[in-house]
Amino acid sequence: MIFTKVAILSLLSLATFVLSLPTPTLNSQEGLAKRWHEDHKRHHPSVGENARPSPSVSGSAQRKAKKPIPSSKSIDSGQPQLGSAEDLTRCPAQKMACPISPMTDVELAKSNADTPYECILPQEDLYSCGGCTTLGTGLDCTAIPGVLSVSCAIGTCNVYSCKSGFTVTSDGQGCVEVTVPASFNATLISTNQTFITNTTYTVTSPVATDAPASSSVETAALPSPTV
């Protein structure tokens, strides 16, 4: 009996103590769970995740990354350079866009949509045969030294005749000056001198009344017919 009473009193005391403790609310439980989750994540990062925050890119690095890279192509993106084999943005098919004025490679790289140009047919253009004369890729057939008659076909100058003192080259694409051999010149000079020496002519001139009216003179210096 005594043992039973002691046990009952102990249970009542324990129940009273438990009931006196404050009961945590739902919000407090959620806060504790969130704090535990953050602490666990900070000290136990997942695979591929760094616990330390990554440093941001500095201002100087950002400015350097935005700096444009210079290009060797035309300033206008998507547009071929002048003198390209095919430039449908400027000229019809099979034609080539050539600058009006001669340009260097540096000037060509800086060309844009405002650069004056003309469309030529490099296969047949007499003044820009085979390419752009202003860029050094073509040839002005009419500017060949000594040329008289010429045409452009398949991008090549074809010479038919040359001016006096010139003759067509063996490949038919130019003119070469004709040179006279020195032996031929010496023979020609010797022949002329022999002809002058063997010439006889008569000179009639006014004289005094007591002198003959005419005289026959043979000389080896003056070539002249009878007067």
Highest mean pLDDT among 77-91, 96-110, 207-221: 96-110
Flag whether pLDDT at 153 surpasses 90. yes
- What single letter denotes the amino acid at residue 3? F
Of the ranges 57-61, 96-100, 185-189, which one carries the lowest mean pLDDT score? 57-61
Rg of the chain over CA atoms, in angstroms?
A: 55
| pLDDT tens digits along 21-56 | 655 554 556 666 666 667 656 655 554 444 444 444
Q: How far apart are CA 194 and CA 192, in angstroms?
A: 5
Q: How far apart are CA 8 and CA 157, in angstroms?
A: 127
Looking at residue 179, what is its pLDDT?
Answer: 84
Looking at residue 113, what is its pLDDT?
Answer: 82
Looking at residue 64, what is its pLDDT?
Answer: 35
At residue 139, φ and ψ (nearest 5 deg) are -135, 135
| pLDDT tens digits along 113-130 | 888 999 999 999 999 999
Question: Per the confidence metrics, is the pTM higher than 0.85?
Answer: no
* E strand spans, the chain: 96-99, 117-120, 147-153, 156-162, 166-168, 175-177
Looking at residue 193, what is its pLDDT?
Answer: 60
State the DSSP code for 153: E
- Indicate left, alpha or beta for 138 from its phi (over 0: left) and psi (-120 to 50: alpha): beta
Residue 152 CA: distances (Å) to CA of 24, 95, 175:
101, 15, 15
The pLDDT confidence band at residue 135, using thresholds 50, 70 and 90, is very high
At residue 105, φ and ψ (nearest 5 deg) are -65, -35
**How many C-beta atoms surround the C-beta of residue 219 within 10 A?**
12
| pLDDT tens digits along 186-199 | 555 555 565 555 55
